[in-house]
Amino acid sequence: MLGIYFALLDTPEEKSKFEALYKEYRNTMYNHAYGILKDNYLAEDAVQNAFLKLIKSLEKVNGIKCKETRNYLVILIRGAAIDIYNQNKKIVPMDELDDTDTLDLPELIENRLERERVFEIISNMDEKYSDILMMKLFYDCSNDEISQLLKIKPDHVSIRFFRAKAKLKKLIMEEYENDRP
């Protein structure tokens, strides 16, 4: 990986400095990114993006093993991780994940229940979940639109939608199981 970065650097001094920074901080940066993204691959992408940003601002780094350098790199990785997070709003903390991340609601609705029955199930759910499901599934609203309508942060819309899908899937599967002979 260092070879790719080295191709972007001009002088041997820059390469040496970058290599020392990379070896010293790559694990710290990965841990910070993973703490935000909760995904190995996305955290690795964030680290790569942060190191690419570092190449552009390498002159701002004076020492290798100092607080200022560490803080600067933590800020770079935090920004890179948040950028990736914002691009992938579906990411939620790992302790909230179950098999619902592969849930395809339109297919589930089409194959197992009538649209009206799904509407009825959603209507009987807690409002904080039913409102988001209705807006997403029946009115095709974006997270930003829902955020503005419900006066909550877009990140909270994503998390609530994820939780609501899990609850809806459970309710649909229970109904499906009860209808089977």
Digit-coded pLDDT (tens) for 117-151: 777 788 788 888 888 887 787 667 788 878 887 78
Summarize pLDDT for 20-41 with one digit per residue, the tens.
888 899 999 999 899 888 888 8
Segments of the chain assigned to CATH 1.10.10? 94-179
pLDDT of residue 30: 93
Q: Please give the full DSSP string across 65-120, using - where no structure is assigned.
A: SSHHHHHHHHHHHHHHHHHHHHHTTT---GGG-SGGGG--HHHHHHHHS-HHHHHH
- Scan for tokens 């991780």, then name that residue: 81
CATH number of the domain located at residue range(s) 2-87 in this protein: 1.10.1740
- Scan for tokens 């601002």, then name that residue: 57
pLDDT of residue 180: 60
Please name the helix (run of DSSP H) or strand (run of DSSP E) that holds residue 145, with its range, or none.
Answer: helix 143-150
| pLDDT of 111 higher than 60 | no
**54/116 Cα distance (integer angstroms):** 54
Q: In this structure, which CATH number among 1.10.3470, 3.40.1130, 1.20.1270, 1.10.10 belongs to the domain 94-179?
A: 1.10.10
Summarize pLDDT for 45-93 with one digit per residue, the tens.
999 888 888 877 777 788 888 878 888 888 888 888 888 887 775 434 4
Segments of the chain assigned to CATH 1.10.1740? 2-87
Structure tokens at 121: 């199930």
Residues in the chain, overall count:
181
Q: What is the pTM of this model?
A: 0.48
